[in-house]
Structure 1
Amino acid sequence: MSKKLREYGIIIGQLLTGTKNCITDVEGVQIGHVTLDEPLNDQGDYACTGVTAILPHTGNLFEQKVTAASYVLNGFGKTTGLVQVNELGVLEAPIMLTNTFSVPAVTQGTLQYMLETNEAIGQTTGTINIVVGECNDSNLNSIRHCAITPAHAMKAIHSATNDTIAEGAIGAGKGMVCFGYKGGIGSSSRIVVANEEISYTIGCLVLSNFGRKEDFLAERYSAKTEQHQDTVAPTDGSIIIVLATDAPLSSRQLQRVIKRCGIGLGRTGSHFSHGSGDIVIGFTTARTIPHKTEELFEARKQLREDHPVMNQLFAAAAEATEEAILNSLAQAKTTIGRNGHTVHAFQF
């Protein structure tokens, strides 16, 4: 049975984790998965893929937006919606993750869900910005068959929960490969103490699909260096990192925090390869922003830039990202996909 990294006695960083040590430690955040794991025909084609949905809160995401930002470490990716996120600094729909060729279907399904739950969109108010991130799972998944449908995206959203999330080869992570081993979904969290009365939570979820075996700094974690040899050729791959927090940050401050996720990624051995889409999306649940108001001004509370808590948030982002990536490896199981391609789990 797969175990999380800490069950192997491996501790990352110095900050405390949240109760569940996953992104849902940030109050209100919900995660949903849909996983496809089935043959498509008798010619060796196989659906080894899925969808993962990240909901910032349990209310109406369009009517009550959250402050958000994104940051591109390396832009070899096919995401949707990040231009508007960085322009306006808000998120107004679930963040969706899937494989590269399923971005259109997942965008359509998410749009359909948002239209069904918000009658005003495109009619009495403006349009909506859908955010979808992707990684290429074609080593294990018959990606040309485009097995993901809009209905799968809607099902992932409807199944979202704030429980401890399933990790590894599940949801969008089903067909992903990390450092030549089975990767996928991983998560972790950190608690940042501002003073005796106030603390904040940082939660991270990754879709890991990057790196070569020789890049992985396995010795850093006292991990075994002799592992199974796989039947698939390595590729540059990608990673999508989603960071959630309840710390009161502006969009600009949030971008400063999520940049530090790249430190956690680098600590595992990544150097942001040429063909790797390494992208971070972050949001804070500290306040919601109404879609429509008659007010001329809005008041908001945010942390001072020079307060020591900002450095702790930077450290938390790096630590949680590193551990989330390692949890995606630790939780994944050996997976067989298209044409019998096999990717083995890493043994800590």
Structure 2
Amino acid sequence: MRLAGRRARDLGIVVGGLPTGGHNGITDVAGVSVGHTTVDDGVELHTGVTAVVPTQLGPQRWSLPAAVYTGNGYGKLVGSTQVDELGVLESPIVLTATLSVFRAADAVLTHLMRRRPDGLSFNPLVGETNDGHLSDIRRRPITEGHVLDAIDRASAGPTPEGCVGAGAGTTALGYKAGIGTSSRVVGAPDTPVTVGVLVQANFGGVLTVLGVPLPVDELVPQADRAEPPGNSCMIVVATDACLDARQLGRLARRAVFAMGRVGAAYANGSGDYAIAFSTAEPGRPAIPDAQLDPVIAAVLDSVEEAVLNSLFTATTTSGAGGRTSHAVPHQAAVRRLVDAGRIPGGRAVAGAVGRPATRPSR
């Protein structure tokens, strides 16, 4: 159940012309589930765990085709080199805070060893962004229980977004951000292909929506100008398209490229990574490269909208050191987009000042 602020489409903001899946999220890819554990004391801790769990990983199939693209390697993505080398994903993908990534990786190892008691080698894949702007990151509050709970509670329904899980303490493009997700469906009606994306947004730049800059110092004049540490983004791309690891690497690159659409600065300290995997049944021929354009377009649009959802569903949060990260003010943002001719007026503006945003479910 979504209880966060409005998503981009609720405000009249539509990215591209491709149709979305039923939930407009990564769980529209059959067999992909998402779970969150949020650790939030309302004062010094705003952090957590988000797990993307492909249910196809099991006794019949212990790996899926996958690829990792490093846009800028200022980060920690445990397990990425083996994915690069072998082109397969062997575990749920877990996202958390920077200094908790190693404990989270050990917890994923516990999960994998329980599932495969006869196994001798495992490759947990765990990424992070730095939520130290709002959370006391040095306390490393994430435990094995938090990680296992996120994996065990993962579901295929609508995914809570905003200040939840690994997005509880993140800030992006000057505003409070968090977890966001989106999806697209392409191909013929009898052979549809679904692309789903989930982001943990925590990077710098100037928020740009449908080509219109929305600087925080103009929309929220009282906002703290201190630049959060880390400035990173983790992007997970799932698809049921039959693609090999090389082709998934091409999609992962496009996922990082799409950050530019929303105004990413791609700073020196920005750890920008994309992980792409396919859930297609093994043994089928891969889609020819010449037919990848619709899938590439789906990735670009889904990443753009997922980042916007991570922002528009987030709520203003005060945390460690008395710092505050302000949510995007919906009414002000929509009015600028209407004035620029990017979205229709009237209903969109009225909708932006409807029911107040609340904290997301955990």
Amino acid at match of 1:27: A
How many angstroms apart in 1 are the aligned matches of 2:179 and 2:204? 15
Q: Label 1:345 to 1:61 Cα distance change in 2 as closer, same or farther (>3 A).
A: farther
The percent identity for this pair of structures is 40
Tell me the equivalent position of 2:353.
Answer: none
Which residue, out of 276, 281, 284, partners 2:275?
281
Residues 222-247 of structure 1: per-residue CA shift (max 9 Å, x gap): 86842253346114510000000000
How many angstroms apart in 2 are the aligned matches of 1:50 and 1:109? 14
Deviates more, 1:140-149 or 1:220-229: 220-229
Deviates more, 1:51-60 or 1:77-86: 51-60
SS in 2 for 1:260: helix
Tell me the equivalent position of 1:21.
Answer: 24
Q: How far 1:61 sits from its partner (Å)?
A: 7.5
Q: How far 1:220 sits from its partner (Å)?
A: 2.6
How many angstroms apart in 2 are the aligned matches of 1:321 and 1:2? 19
Taking structure 2 as the reference length, what is the TM-score of the superposition? 0.85
Structure 1 gaps, min length 5: 289-298
How many angstroms apart in 1 are the aligned matches of 2:245 and 2:91? 16
Structure 2 gaps, min length 5: 331-362
How many angstroms apart in 1 are the aligned matches of 2:252 and 2:149? 29
SS in 2 for 1:116: helix
> Residue 217 in 1 paired to residue 220 in 2?
no
SS in 2 for 1:141: coil
Tell me the equivalent position of 1:31.
Answer: 34
1:107-126 maps to which residues of 2 (within 5 A)? 107-122=105-120
SS in 2 for 1:107: helix
Q: Label 1:61 to 1:346 Cα distance change in 2 as closer, same or farther (>3 A).
A: farther
Q: Label 1:66 to 1:96 Cα distance change in 2 as closer, same or farther (>3 A).
A: same
Q: Label 1:174 to 1:61 Cα distance change in 2 as closer, same or farther (>3 A).
A: farther
> Residue 134 in 1 paired to residue 116 in 2?
no
Q: Label 1:117 to 1:219 Cα distance change in 2 as closer, same or farther (>3 A).
A: closer
How many angstroms apart in 1 are the aligned matches of 2:286 and 2:122? 26
Which residue, out of 255, 258, 261, partners 1:264?
258
Deviates more, 1:230-239 or 1:129-138: 230-239
Q: Label 1:196 to 1:338 Cα distance change in 2 as closer, same or farther (>3 A).
A: closer
> Residue 345 in 1 paired to residue 327 in 2?
yes
Is contact 1:62-1:92 (8 Å) kept?
A: no
Tell me the equivalent position of 1:313.
Answer: 295
RMSD: 1.8
How many angstroms apart in 1 are the aligned matches of 2:159 and 2:145? 21
How many angstroms apart in 1 are the aligned matches of 2:286 and 2:209? 39
Is contact 1:232-1:341 (8 Å) kept?
A: no
Which residue, out of 169, 173, 181, partners 1:179?
173
Tell me the equivalent position of 2:223.
Answer: 230
How many angstroms apart in 2 are the aligned matches of 1:52 and 1:262? 19
